[in-house]
Amino acid sequence: MRFKSRSLGAIFFAFLVLSFSIESASALVRIKDIADLRGMRSNQLVGYGIVIGLNGSGDTMRNSPFTEQSLQSMLERMGVNVRESNLRSRNVAAVVVTAELPPFIGNGSRIDVSVGSLGDASSLQGGTLLVTPLMGADGNVYAVAQGSVSVSGFLAEGDAGSLTQGVPTAGSVPNGALIEKTLPDYFSSLPQLVLELKNPDFKTAIRVTDAINAFSLNRYGMKLASEQDYRSVQVQRPAGISSVRFISQIEGLMVQPDTPARVVVDERTGTVVIGQNVRISTVAVTHGNLTVRVSERPEVSQPAPFSKQGETTVVPRTDIDVQQEEGQLQLLGGTDLQTLVRGLNRIGLKPSGIIAILQAIKQAGALQATLVVK
């Protein structure tokens, strides 16, 4: 079944263009959504542990000697001597446990952990993670993880086949880690606060600075913010107020971030995302599709009845059909996103055609934006 390229291209493009030309008031966002406070960062934790209770889907001791050594060490700590024994259990798997230590978290709090198989286990479904210390980059233990492993994927197999959905060798333990040690709290003693933009931009930094100064001038009678560079804005905490209360006041201020003109193209999935500030100089575009269809229809040639000579042979027959759709020359150009989308939809293209035209327009120098091809 063949679809008309015009309808498919229009529907696809209408759903995949994620940016729209909207009023400036509706583009306002909170400072807390576009900037982070310097020092408020998570820290990575990692640990090595074992998962028990697997239904014959664990590591093979012969192929994963580290699993056997871990099991022997654990049993020896519990008073069981198995050094001279050959362990052949398939209910144990060695895993690597990872987690993120959030900023300003306190002792006794719980965080989620991720678990991934280290050996040749086929599934972690139904397993239980034993006590696993989680260390930071400095080698200190900040949390201890333990609990039942939750796996979203599954593995079903029989004598003649198997079915795998998702990744059964990776899972998580919700609230599985208990915080034992926290990082030092330098937040309350900071004389100055620095906001770092998630998407650095000079104009956005200026707008954040102006918004904070307008608030502080009206509330405290002085300007408290100054831009450092295109990424960071320095804010001075006023006297007589805590840093927590002051940050809660300015993080809700509304600003309009500025974004660069950018077109992102994913050739593998056919995804096209066009930013709001993308402009195209007026160009003439045509796009014609050439289809070549090759069909093989072999025929059997047989000799006449009661013939003493001749052999039955297969004679190849090849049919080649060439179809080329008419391409109309269209003027394409837009001063805003809506005009650009209407121009591309008017041509009527499939996703691959839209991607090809955008790349050609960029090479012609008419696309006033950065083209990112994945």
Note the pLDDT tens digit of each residue in 140-158. Answer: 999 999 999 998 866 666 6
**H or E stretch at 132:** strand 128-135
What whole-number distance in Å separates Cα of residue 234 and Cα of residue 210?
A: 12
Give pLDDT, residue 13. 44
Give pLDDT, residue 144. 95
What whole-number distance in Å separates Cα of residue 344 and Cα of residue 353?
A: 10
**H or E stretch at 11:** helix 5-16
Our CA dihedral for 247, 250, 253, 256, rounded to 10 degrees, sits at -90
Round the CA-based radius of gyration of the chain to a whole number and report it.
32
Give pLDDT, residue 242. 82
Residues of the chain where predicted confidence (pLDDT) is lower than 70: 1-26, 153-165, 185-186, 188-191, 283, 285-298, 300-301, 303-310, 314-351
Structure tokens at 119: 């050996």
- Asked if 135 and 45 touch (Cβ cutoff 8 Å), the reply is yes
Does the pTM surpass 0.85? The reply is no
Give 4's contacts (C-beta < 8 A, 6+ positions apart): 348
Pairing between β-strand 262-266 and β-strand 370-373 as defined by DSSP bridges:
parallel
**H or E stretch at 124:** none
Q: Which of 125, 134, 68, 127 is nearest to 98 (CA)?
A: 134
| Helix residue ranges, H only, 47-200 | 65-77
Structure tokens at 281: 């100089």
